[in-house]
Chain A
Amino acid sequence: MNTRKLSLTLAVLSISTTVLAATAASAQSILVDMKGPGAGNPFWAAVERGALEKGKELGIDTVVLAPPTESDVAAQITQIEDQLARGIKGLALAPTDPNALAPVVEEAIADGVPVVFIDTQGSNEGVTYIGTDNVAGAALAAKFICEQLPSGSEVAILTGIVTQSTGKARADGARSGLSGCGLKIVAEQSGEWDRAKGLSVMENVITGNPGIKAVFASNDNMALGAVEALKSANMLDKVMVVGFDANPDAADSILAGEMSASVAQNPENMGALGIESLMKLAKGEKLPPVIDTGTVLVTKDNAADYK
């Protein structure tokens, strides 16, 4: 019976060995640790693709890992600790929780491993953040509105939650862009990122300002809520709606001629610029505190790519 037990044990081990042997140990590599796996999430799949392609182009071994879910903070910490023990020459991290990941990022820095944050800014001081510049993205949307409307037209802004950095940045970018080109902002109110709240806020805005010509919503959910409000007031043909995120619902709405535009982030660039920036750090170059991965205006012309 001992042989039987032993053979069973060995069977288990040989299975795990086969799994591992398939991924032979490699030389020092750059680790990209994302919030969630690329499988099933187009955003992270794009980050992964961008990182792997850039790694290939520069001839750097690139490893992409992620915890099984975006809430599994402990798994992400563990992955980084293990990879640090193995020895990595760079870490591009999208922290599942900026604060909880701070100690292990400190550990990496103490080891002399270059670190950058991608997608989500961490809480460690002096670490470059590579991600969407939300001010610039909102300004892009504002520019689009400016181009369509005569100076002096009345416009409104639906903000997200402005105590959050993303909400504030998008509101700031839109405000300065719209007023900068001579449009008149008659209302700036929060829809708290929520579709239903965006709808009610928009109802109030058009009641008080029946002459408005455009609304910028800080995310697509609120923009779609605004579309509903305008539809019931029979005003959709007179007011243009521009959102942010370019999610599939918004792309459909743009193609249907309801929303006018949205702003897309560029996750592929987050992966690629992450790798590139780490190589710069390794060579001793300095990085700016924030690197914009760029935003793309999505209109009828290119909305089909975002469905």
Chain B
Amino acid sequence: MTVSTDRSRTGNRTEAEAPGLGIRLLPILDRYGILLVILVMGLVLYALQPDVFFSWRNITNIFKQTAVNSMLAIGMFLVILTAGIDLSVGSVLALGMMSLAVANAAGWAWPIVLLLGPAVGLATGFVNGVGITKLRMPHPFIMTLGMLFMARGLANLISGGVPYTGLPDAVRFLGSAQIELGELDGTRLNLPVGLIVTIVVYLIFWVFLEHSVLGRRIYAIGGNPQAARVSGINVDRVLIFVYSLCGLMAGFAGLMMAGRTNSGFPNAGIGAELEAIAAVIIGGASFFGGRGTVLGVFGGVIIMGLISNTLNLNNVSVFWQQILIGLIIVVAVFLDVVRRGIGTRR
């Protein structure tokens, strides 16, 4: 992986002479604004549940609960960067999860069981990528919609539609293990491995997207596929890579979910693709491709996790959660529209 020093992604906003304070703040807000939103949300939630919200257990709960969506969203982000979409990730999650659960029940060795989920995800992602590029599907929506049904059907077919329970600890490790850090004021301080996995995966993706040639090409394809093609980028090959990686992350999410629930169950991941897309959009990525950051996606996932967490803590019907997430998607994109308008008008 060659490391590029090109950092001109926000190049359309090269500083003019003597800009106002507001304008100079824009790029910073652009990059880190989502952290501010999370901070404000955190303070509001803290005010509502002062005893519970900032407790170690609640904070680690949020990361345990968002780990699966984190994995799906980062794969989805790559696809959306290329102005594509992958509707199949929820089903691929289920397929990966059921494959490993069935393999485990059949007595396969745990290292194979462990690798099977992500491998199955990678394979379905590869099929998606090849379908989109080589079969020249008019839009990724169609190929991945087909895969949504195929992967779900396949997951039910191999399992007979019944749950499989009981996985070895090694397989459950990433999804459910806790590292004991000790005690503080009588409470156990356990660090969920899922949190570490999330951080490591996001760091890898950040380095890859910001500092590798392939990563820069993914941004380029989304920004302007024609220009990318003319400048010698093999667009098909990059797209196949992107969809494969998205599938891999979905399979990996299946492994995490299997660990968390100690089972493979047929209803896993229904609607998960929409949650992943929501996190990416709330995180500020553009649906037209070429724009968005890894940090933003992370923020989007956490905002969704915070909403669910706080509504559960306050005994609010889960229907409100659906309404609020919908509202936030619309408001987040509207903010983006307003901000871009100001950025270009100046």
- Chain A residues proximal to chain B, CB less than 8 Å: 1-2, 4-5, 8-13, 15-17, 19-21, 23, 25-26, 29, 37, 39, 63, 65-68, 71-75, 77-79, 81-87, 96-103, 123
Contact = CB atoms under 8 A, between A and B. Distances in A.
B65 A78 contact: yes
B22 A100 contact: no
Interface string B260-290: 1111010110110000000000000000000
Nearest to B33: A5
A12 B331 contact: yes
A41 to B, nearest CB: 14
B279 to A, nearest CB: 14
A42 B188 CA distance: 42
Given A19-B320, A25-B48, A86-B52, A123 B314 contact: no
Contact of A83 (B29, B263, B312, B339): B312
A65 B315 contact: yes
A8 B342 CA distance: 15
Nearest to A2: B22
B313 A86 contact: yes
Contacts of B260: 77, 103
Nearest to B62: A82
Contacts of A84: 57
Contacts of B338: 1, 4-5, 8
Contacts of A102: 165, 261-263
Contact of B312 (A19, A37, A79, A97): A79
Contacts of B265: 73, 97, 99-100
Interface string B236-263: 0000000000000000000001001111
B224 interface: no
Given A13-B40, A81-B64, 9 more contacts: A12-B331, A65-B312, A74-B257, A82-B309, A83-B313, A85-B52, A86-B58, A97-B163, A97-B267
Contacts of A71: 267, 270
Contacts of B317: 37, 65
B234 interface: no
Contact of B342 (A1, A9, A21, A81): A1
Contacts of B331: 8, 11-12
B77 to A, nearest CB: 20
CB-based closest 6 A-B pairs = A82-B312, A100-B261, A99-B165, A71-B267, A99-B263, A85-B58
Given A4-B338, A20-B48, A85 B61 contact: yes
A84 B315 CA distance: 12
A86 B342 contact: no
A64 B236 CA distance: 51
Contacts of B261: 73, 77, 97, 99-103
Interface string B62-99: 00110010000000000000000000000000000000
A96 B163 CA distance: 12
17 contacts: A15-B327, A17-B44, A20-B311, A20-B314, A20-B316, A65-B312, A74-B268, A78-B309, A78-B312, A84-B57, A85-B57, A99-B164, A99-B165, A99-B263, A100-B262, A102-B262, A103-B262
Contacts of B44: 13, 16-17
A66 B318 contact: yes
A297 B327 CA distance: 48
